[in-house]
Amino acid sequence: MGLSTLIACHECDLLQRRVPLAKAGVARCRRCDAVLYRGSSSEDLDRALAYTLGGLILFLIANAYPIVALEIQANRQAASLYDTVHALWIDGREDVSLLVAFTTLVTPSLEISLLLYLLIPLRFGRTPSETVAVLRFLQRVKPWSMMEVFLLGILVSLVKLEHLAHVEPGIALWAFGALIPILIAAAGAFNPEDIWTKIDQVA
């Protein structure tokens, strides 16, 4: 019996037979409805790479420019993403500063760069040497990337400040707004299952 023709649901452990899927198809567990795997198409890789590159550019813009500026009586204060981490650190809240840095700077940049490390060579038909370790790491780190929550946080703070002062959205805010759908699209096009199958074929 070939074990690779079977799949166990990761949420309820039910054993099921793998069937080939059309592109954009989704295989769900027949007992608990968990998503087992998705159908793949040859453009997946191109799309994932395009979205991730777009994400990289937007991420750089989102970090390089101020998110918002605040004006009270000719006093102007602008804050970039890094400034929020820095201000908490100076304030003596190193623990919160590290948490914010980890979830909005470290994890997203690791995610984007590691995806590119995998996708660029794969696009040219080569499998990068650390593929297995990188895939494992990406899976671990994914829940801690919280850009979309951060965007909502910015919006809430804008409303809070509106009553006190004149607030001006910065370039980075728009970059953030565009970054979130693009990261979701990249995650949707990136199909680790395909890479595992490739590794199987090489071995």
Partner 1 sequence: MNQRPMTARQLGLCACHTCGLLSKWERGHVDLTCPRCRSHLHLRKPDSIARTWAFLIASYLLFLPANLLPIMHTNSLFGAQSDTIMSGIVYLWVSGSWHLALVVFIASILVPSAKLLALTFLAVSVQKRSQWDPIQRTNMYRIVELVGRWSMLDIFVVSVLVALVQLQSLATIRAGHGAVAFGAVVVLTMFAAMEFDPRLIWDPQDDAS
Cβ 69 to partner 1, closest distance in Å? 8
What secondary structure letter does DSSP report for 79? E
Please say whether the beta carbons of 50 and 167 come within 8 A: no
Retrieve residue 38's tokens.
């998705």
**Residue 20 or residue 143: which is nearer to partner 1 going by CB?**
143
**Residue 76 or residue 123: which is nearer to partner 1 going by CB?**
76
Burial track 86-106 (b if 16+ CB lie within 10 A, e otherwise): eebbeeeeeeebeebbbbbbe
Q: Does 177 bind partner 1 (CB under 8 A)?
A: no
List the x/- string, 42-81, binding to partner 1 by CB under 8 A: -------------------------xx-x-xx-x-x-x--
Which residues, numbered 126-155, are part of the site for partner 1 (CB under 8 A)? 132, 135-136, 139, 143-144, 146, 149-150, 152-154
Please say whether the beta carbons of 128 and 118 come within 8 A: yes
Which residues, numbered 92-131, are part of the site for partner 1 (CB under 8 A)? 93, 95-97, 99-100, 103-104
CA dist., res. 81 & res. 3, Å (int): 48
